[in-house]
């Protein structure tokens, strides 16, 4: 008798915790002020899915390859709030015209470092846009935002707006590569591979 009661109690506790977790799911573009601690900001309408894939373009003699993935339930801290969210994450390879790799983040453990992270921060469904925050390259050079727009099933448009391309030797060692290899431009077309 005691075993049946205990099993029933466990089932009830699991059901209640499952219901309370689902109550914490919020739509992708929920305002920060409306996100409680430990909530899950979920891509309920699959707004991020059309961007997933491998894309390529050429710009000023360089070949740029983007690897766009969707991370579900990604731990996030913003404005002193800890929560979880679905987000796009971009890794990339930039090669010059001779095929020499200038920068490669494809195999970096991106989330565990300060720089090179490119992660979505919001979408504008009516415009078909997704905005991503970029932490910048070495020493944070080039940090800013990237806006992607889905043009059709195989093409996206790229706009990169860096906030800072200048840094001094006091904040970044002189021997550090300070080049921003991502294309600083608007309306650059990437094609899905």
**Distance between CA atoms of 156 and 189, rounded to whole angstroms?**
6
Enter the pTM of the model: 0.83
Taking only the tens place, the pLDDT of each residue in 165-184 is 667 777 788 888 889 999 99
Helix segments in the chain, DSSP class H: 2-23
What is the predicted pLDDT for the residue at 71?
Answer: 94
Contact 144, 131 (CB under 8 A): no
Q: How many DSSP H helices and E strands does the chain contain?
A: 1, 11
pLDDT band at 98 (very low <50, low <70, confident <90, very high): very high
Q: Does the structure show a pLDDT above 60 at 101?
A: yes
Q: Does the structure show a pLDDT above 80 at 142?
A: yes
Q: Which two tokens stand for residue 106?
A: 């494809």
CB atoms under 10 Å from CB of 91, counted, come to 18
Contact 162, 184 (CB under 8 A): yes
Which residues, at least 6 apart from 177, have a Cβ–Cβ distance to it below 8 Å? 137, 138
């Amino acid at each position: 008798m005691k075993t049946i009661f205990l099993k029933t109690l466990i089932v009830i506790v699991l059901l209640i915790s499952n219901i309370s977790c689902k109550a914490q799911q919020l739509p992708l573009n929920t305002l920060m002020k409306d996100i409680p601690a430990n909530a899950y900001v979920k891509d309920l309408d699959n707004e991020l899915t059309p961007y997933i894939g491998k894309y390529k373009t050429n710009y000023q003699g360089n070949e740029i390859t983007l690897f766009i993935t969707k991370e579900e339930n990604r731990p996030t801290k913003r404005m002193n709030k800890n929560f979880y969210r679905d987000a796009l994450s971009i890794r990339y390879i930039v090669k010059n015209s001779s095929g020499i790799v200038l920068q490669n983040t494809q195999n970096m453990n991106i989330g565990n470092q300060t720089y090179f992270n490119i992660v979505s921060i919001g979408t504008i469904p009516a415009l078909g846009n997704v905005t991503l925050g970029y932490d910048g390259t070495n020493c944070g050079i080039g940090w800013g935002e990237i806006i992607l727009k889905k043009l059709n099933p195989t093409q996206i448009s790229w706009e990169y707006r860096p906030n800072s391309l200048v840094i001094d030797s006091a904040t970044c060692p002189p021997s550090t590569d300070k080049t921003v290899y991502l294309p600083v431009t608007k309306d650059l077309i990437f094609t899905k591979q």
